[in-house]
Amino acid sequence: MKIMVSACLAGENCKYNGGNNRSEKVLKLMAENEVLTVCPEQMGGLPTPRVPSEICNGVVTAKDGRIVDAQFRTGAAECLVIAKIEQPDLIVLQSRSPSCGVKQRYDGTFSGKLVDRAGVTAQLLMENGFCCVDVEDLVEVHNDVLIRKLSSGEICLLKDFLYEAIFIPEGVEPPPRDIVERPELRIYYEYFGRSEADLCLVAEADGHVVGAVWTRIMSDYGHVDDETPSFAISLIPEYRGKGIGTRLMRNILSLLKEQGFKQASLAVQKANYAVRMYKNVGFEIVDENDEEFIMLCSL
Ligand code: SF4
C-alpha cells in the first residue's frame, strides 16, 4: 500500500515548536508499506519553529495576529500536487492541526476548544477524493485493509451493517431491509456514541467501508449484565472469509480492555459459521437456547 503521512508523525521535527508527533503506529506503517511524508506548513514556506496558528473566521491566523492564510493554502496545494502524482491509497494525518486535522481542528480562539471541521490540507485532499484518516482514528493497516474508528458522520452505516449481520440460513428468503427499524433492532444503533461502551471500528478496502464491529451495553439477545458490552459484527459478503472479521474483533476487544471493561458478550445462531471465529478470538459458550449460543470473552 502507498501511504502519505504528516511528516511530524514520522518523527520529523517540523512541528511549530520544533518538535514532532512521532507515532509508533505510523512507524509501523513505514516499516510495512511505501510511505511518503509531507509537512504542508513547511511546504508553504513557514519556518520551524514558528508561531502556532488557528483558523479564525476562515482565515489562518498566527497567535501573534499575523495572517498566514496564503502560506497554509500554498502548502495544502503542494500536498495535493504530490498526492495527485503519487496517488496514495491512504493519507494519515495529525489530529486537530489547522493544516492536517481530518475530523476536528482548534476553533480559532487559541483556547484549546475544538470544532468538527478539517484543517486546510486535509479538507483539500478529501475534496479531491483522497482517503484521509486522523492518526488517532487509525487502528491498523494490513493486506490493503484499513481498520479505523467510525466517525460520528458515519453512524448511519450501522443500520446497513446491522442488516448484513442478520443470519439468514441457506434457502431462507432474506427479510426486507426495513426490518432494522423494528424496536428490538433499533437498540443496536439509536443514539450511538453517547455511552463509553459505544465503540465501533470499521474496515475499509477498495475505497469503501466493507465491515463493522460495534459494542454497546444494550438489552439485546447477548445481554448478560449492565456492565458488559455486547457485540454486533458484519461484513459485506464479498469480504467474508478473508480474516477481516477476526481483525476487527481482536482490535475492538483490545479497545474495550483499554477502556477498563472486564468482559464482552454476544449471541450467535448455532448454525452461524462465525461461532468458530468467536471461539478463536477468546469467546466461550456460557449459555444456550434452542437457536443461539450466548458467548462471553474475558478481557
Ligand atoms: S503541518 Fe501537519 S505535518 Fe506539519 S507539523 Fe503540522 S501537523 Fe505535522
Whether 291 and 259 map to the same domain: the answer is yes
Residues 86 and 224 in one domain: no
Residues 235 and 126 in one domain: no
Band the pLDDT of 153: cuts 50, 70, 90.
confident
Atom number in ligand 1 closest to CA 7: 3
Give tens-digit pLDDT for 25-43: 999 999 999 999 999 999 9
Q: What is the β-pairing status of strands 199-205 and 145-149? A: antiparallel
Ligand 1 midpoint to CA 37 (Å): 10
Confidence of residue 55 (pLDDT cuts 50, 70, 90): very high
Q: Which residues contact 111 (CB under 8 A, 6 or more apart)?
A: none
**Mean pLDDT, all residues of the chain:** 95
Domain identity same for 98 and 12? yes
What pLDDT is recorded for position 191?
94
231 and 131 in a single domain? The answer is no
Q: Which pLDDT does position 34 carry in this prediction?
A: 96
CATH number at residue 287: 3.40.630.30
Does 166 lie in the same domain as 36?
no
Taking 90 as the threshold, does the pLDDT of residue 118 lie above it? yes
Q: Is the pLDDT of residue 169 over 90?
A: no
Q: Which pLDDT score, from 0 to 100, does residue 273 have?
A: 84
pLDDT band at 207 (very low <50, low <70, confident <90, very high): confident
Please compute the mean of the pLDDT values over residues 2-17 and round it to a whole number. Answer: 98
Of ligand 1's listed atoms, the one at least distance from the Cα of 48 is 5
Find, among 162, 285, 183, 178, the residue nearest to 231 by Cα: 162
Please tell me the residue having the least CA distance from ligand 1 atom 6: 15
- At 75 the pLDDT is 98
- Beta bridge mates, 115: 105
If asked whether residues 74 and 168 sit together in one domain, one would say no
Rounded Cα gap, residues 148 and 90, in angstroms: 12
Tell me the best of 12, 13, 15, 93 to mutate to test the pocket of ligand 1, counting ligand atoms within 8 Å of each CB and taking the most: 15
Residues of the domain holding 50: 2-141
What percent of the chain has pLDDT above 90?
A: 90
